[in-house]
Structure 1
Amino acid sequence: MAKRTVTVIGSGRAAVSPDVVRLDLRVGHDAGDVAAALSGASEGITKVGAVVRDHDVADADIRTLDAGVNQRWDNTGTAIGFTAQQRLAVTVRRLESVGEILEAAASAVGNALLVDQVRLDVSDRSEGLRRARDAAFADARDKAEQYAALSGSQLGAVLGVAEAGAVAPVAYKAMAASRDLAGGMPVEGGDLDLGATVTVTWELR
């Protein structure tokens, strides 16, 4: 006779204090040929990198995400040139400098700067995720005990545990021309929620 079991899904969250901001910065450049477009985008992203380093961001916290070039067309379908773009991921560990960095980058490259993402995060999620998993397992056990009682049983041994994946902090996304960043972008830390979901199977006795 097969074992009687109960399988439930539990979820849990843990509040953490953000200590970094993840920036996704992009520079675009239009030109009549591919080489000039790439050269212009490269020059622009180099200026942005210099600005970031001037604000005490370490080289280890600056990473090129990607680069590309596409042909441009007018509204009649005629090819009129090329647009090259390069993206830079920046981790800012001094939250109060985010606005200063964005303002300085906008001043350096003008409307060639686009801000694809400004995201509060924590540099080390391990403790927060541990607390979220604890809460998720406790939630699963609470549900399982209720189902066991409803079926006139008691929980036995845990037969299986599977994590469905951690929930990352919600990102704040922005797409803005550099002129809109002239006043900077103050960032308030507040709290973030990290989450975890777990599926647990218990034997019923």
Structure 2
Amino acid sequence: MAKRTVTVNGSGRASVSPDVVRLDLRVGHDADDVAAALAGATEGVTKVGAVVRDHGVADADIRTLDAGVNQRWDNTGVAVGFTAQQRLAVTVHHLQLVGEILAAAAGAVGNALLVDSVRLDVSDRSDGLRRARDSAFADARDKAQQYAALSGAELGAVLGVAEAGAVPLQGRGMRQMAMAADSAGGMPVEGGDLDLGANVTVTWQLL
């Protein structure tokens, strides 16, 4: 006779305090030919990199994400030149500097700067994910115990565990970005709380 089992999904979350901001910055340049477009984008991204370093960001926290060149067309379908773009990923460890960095970068290259994302994160997620997994397993066990009781049985040994995913979630109390109009035109970033989530599927034997 086959063993009776119960399989349930559990979910859990744990709050952590963000300690870094991850910036995705892009610099573009239009020109008549590919070489000039690339040179202009390179010059612009070099200026942005210098600004970022001037604000204390280490080389290890700056990396090129991608670069590319696209042909430009007018509204009649006639080729009018090329646009080159380069993207930088920047990790800022001091939240209060984000607004200054963005303002300085915009001052260095003007409208050539595009900010694709400003994202709060934690440099080390291990403790938060461990607590989220503990919560997810406890949630699964509670459900399994209820189903076992409804079946007139008791929980036995765990027969299988599969993590369905551990992901960052935006907590209800999280204030990701506080947009404020001040004299400097900066973008203050407030930490708030960040939730890390975990999901697990667990199978128990029923006794």
The TM-score, its normalising length taken from structure 2, stands at 0.93
Q: CA RMSD in A?
A: 1.6
Distance 1:98 1:201 in 2: 46
Amino acid at match of 2:191: G
- Which whole-Å CA distance do the structure 1 matches of 2:58 and 2:175 have between them? 23
Bigger drift between 164-173 and 51-60 goes to 164-173
The 5 Å alignment of 1:139-154 reads 139-154=139-154
- Find runs of 4+ consecutive structure 1 residues off by over 2 angstroms: 169-174
Residues 9-67 of structure 1: CA distance to partner in whole angstroms, max 9, x if unpaired?
00000000000000000000000100110110000000000000000000000010000
What is the CA–CA distance in structure 2 between the aligned matches of 1:40 and 1:189, rounded to whole Å?
35
2:46 aligned counterpart, secondary structure: helix
Q: Distance in 2 between matches of 1:164 and 1:76?
A: 50
Q: Deviations over 1:132-151 (max 9, x none)?
A: 00000000000000000000
Residues 119 and 172 in structure 1, CA contact (< 8 A), matched pair in contact too: no
Aligned-partner residue type, residue 167 of structure 1: V
Normalised by the size of structure 1, how large is the TM-score?
0.94
| Aligned mates of 1:203, 1:137 — CA distance in 2 | 16
Change (3 A) 1:157 1:138: same
Residues 137/4 of structure 1: CA separation in 2 closer, same or farther (3 Å cut): same
Letter in 2 for 1:52: V
Question: Equivalent pairs: percent with the same residue?
Answer: 84
Match of 1:60 in 2: 60
Distance 2:194 2:104 in 1: 27
The answer for the alignment partner of 1:185 in structure 2 is 187
